Amino acid sequence: MRPATNGNESETRRQLRRIYTTLLAAFGPQGWWPARIRLEVILGAILTQNTAWKNAALAVRRLRQAGMLNHEKLSSASLSKLESLIRPAGFFRQKARTIRNFLRYLETSHGGSLRAMFSTPGEKVRRELLALKGLGPETADAILLYAGGKTFFVADAYSRRVLARHDLWKPTATYSEAQQVLHEHLPGSHALFNEFHALLVEAGKRYCKREVPRCEACPLEPFLNHRHVARPDHKGFAFAKPPAVSGVSGRVGPTLKRMELSHHLG
């Protein structure tokens, strides 16, 4: 499928670099994923589906306190015990079954070894994960990127919204269309994908709200091709007269020199 991008390759890459370096300067490294072991990342990725991270984190903490952050113990626990432990994450029955599905897959396809699973080519593992009930592309890619160090960008709703508003793709772009643009224009570095995704989520949470974005306070405001103006009915954007696109020097300055990952985007 052809990506829904609006610019040529070099301009797209430049735009991504500007956005990345500006967000990193503004917010600093995000330190994702907040987990101690890979199984914890995977459980967190499942538990955070359709809920705020704080709820998922509470469920993970309960699993840890119960000594369940272990493949064998999780697999042998009763479904009702698992449901009870992860209850704070919401949709706990469905999520308990998804965790079970994943553990069964890990056992049958990779002998219960995450090391074996992540030694398998990423595309193959992704296809296998997507075949499991309860795992969509966002969760599968979060597992692959954050637990496996595989280069799959998590093109979630935050990433798609922020970058669509900066004309990287159309607002109607699908998950796979957005991911394809990112994969084509970013260097294949899992560290970069990790940090960039986390920064886009932060921008989405702080400023790029779904209904009414707070562009006037957002560090990405200088890169808007059109000034976004929220309509009074809050149903979407209207576009006022396009302003000149300004540079980033006044906002980020020497901080850019300290950016750990900027060189990836050269």
Does 208 bind ligand SF4 (CB under 6 A)? Our answer is yes
> CA-to-CA distance for 118 and 87, rounded, in angstroms?
29
Q: Prior bond to 32 cis, omega within 30?
A: no
User: Which residue in 63, 99, 207, 259 binds ligand SF4 (CB under 6 A)?
Assistant: 207
Does 231 bind ligand SF4 (CB under 6 A)? Our answer is no
Question: At its nearest, how many Å lie between ligand SF4 and the CB of residue 163?
Answer: 8
Does 221 bind ligand SF4 (CB under 6 A)? Our answer is yes
String of contacts with ligand SF4 for each residue 95-134, x by CB under 6 A: ----------------------------------------
Element (H, E) at 239: strand 237-239
How many residues contact ligand SF4, by CB under 6 A?
A: 14
Q: Are 149 and 182 in contact (CB under 8 A)?
A: no
String of contacts with ligand SF4 for each residue 73-92, x by CB under 6 A: --------------------
What the block records as the tokens of 174 is 């699908």
Does 200 bind ligand SF4 (CB under 6 A)? Our answer is no
Question: At its nearest, how many Å lie between ligand SF4 and the CB of residue 200?
Answer: 9
What the block records as the tokens of 88 is 């704070």
Does 218 bind ligand SF4 (CB under 6 A)? Our answer is yes
Does 224 bind ligand SF4 (CB under 6 A)? Our answer is yes
Alpha helical stretches, state H, the chain: 9-27, 38-47, 53-65, 71-76, 79-86, 92-110, 114-119, 122-130, 137-142, 157-165, 175-185, 190-206, 249-252
> CA-to-CA distance for 49 and 6, rounded, in angstroms?
30
In the complex with ligand SF4, which residue's Cβ is closer, 64 or 227?
Answer: 227
Q: Which stretch binds ligand SF4 (CB under 6 A): 177-185, 212-220, 242-250, 255-263?
A: 212-220
Output the DSSP codes for 144-181.
IIIIT--------HHHHHHHHHTTSS-TT--HHHHHHH
Q: Give, in order, the Cα–Cα distances in Å from 226 to each of 71, 150, 198, 201.
A: 50, 35, 25, 22
Question: At its nearest, how many Å lie between ligand SF4 and the CB of residue 214?
Answer: 6
Does 162 bind ligand SF4 (CB under 6 A)? Our answer is yes
Q: Are 219 and 50 in contact (CB under 8 A)?
A: no
> CA-to-CA distance for 27 and 89, rounded, in angstroms?
27
In the complex with ligand SF4, which residue's Cβ is closer, 66 or 215?
Answer: 215
Q: Which stretch binds ligand SF4 (CB under 6 A): 32-40, 75-83, 123-131, 200-208?
A: 200-208
User: Which residue in 46, 228, 259, 264 binds ligand SF4 (CB under 6 A)?
Assistant: 228
Residue for token digits 């000594």? 67
Does 197 bind ligand SF4 (CB under 6 A)? Our answer is no
User: Which residue in 215, 230, 248, 256 binds ligand SF4 (CB under 6 A)?
Assistant: 215
Please give the residue ranges that form the binding site for ligand SF4 (CB under 6 A): 162, 165-166, 203, 207-208, 213-215, 218, 220-221, 224, 228
